[in-house]
Amino acid sequence: MTHMYTNDLFFGWGWIIWLGFLFLIFSSVGNWGYSYRAHRKVDGSASKDASAILNERYARGDLTRVEYLELKADIASA
């Protein structure tokens, strides 16, 4: 007896192929998401404190010695 509207991929052991295919898709998406988050470049400027930023600006020459000392005293008093 033949079935008109069915095929062998849905009967017998064919459903294992579909489960394996779905598993591969979900695991690939999960692996991509994990590797994307794990290998993202992290901006280190957000974790710097005010004194580190002040020291960098003074080292680049953006501030004079007087300005540097004034700002450093302001930071210390805060």
Domain span at residue 65 reads 48-77
Answer yes or no: do 24 and 6 share one domain: yes
Per-residue pLDDT band at 3 (split at 50, 70, 90): low
pTM value is 0.41
Residue 1 is predicted with a pLDDT of: 53
4-54 residue pLDDT tens: 555 555 566 667 888 899 999 999 999 888 888 887 766 555 567 889 999
Answer yes or no: do 4 and 32 share one domain: yes
Answer yes or no: do 36 and 1 share one domain: yes
Residue 66 is predicted with a pLDDT of: 95
- DSSP sequence for the chain: ---SS--TTSSTTHHHHHHHHHHHHHHHHHHHHHHHHHTPPPPGGGG--HHHHHHHHHHHTSS-HHHHHHHHHHHHH-
Answer yes or no: do 36 and 17 share one domain: yes
Tokens of 24: 């591969």
Answer yes or no: do 36 and 7 share one domain: yes
Q: How many domains does the chain have?
A: 2
Answer yes or no: do 27 and 57 share one domain: no
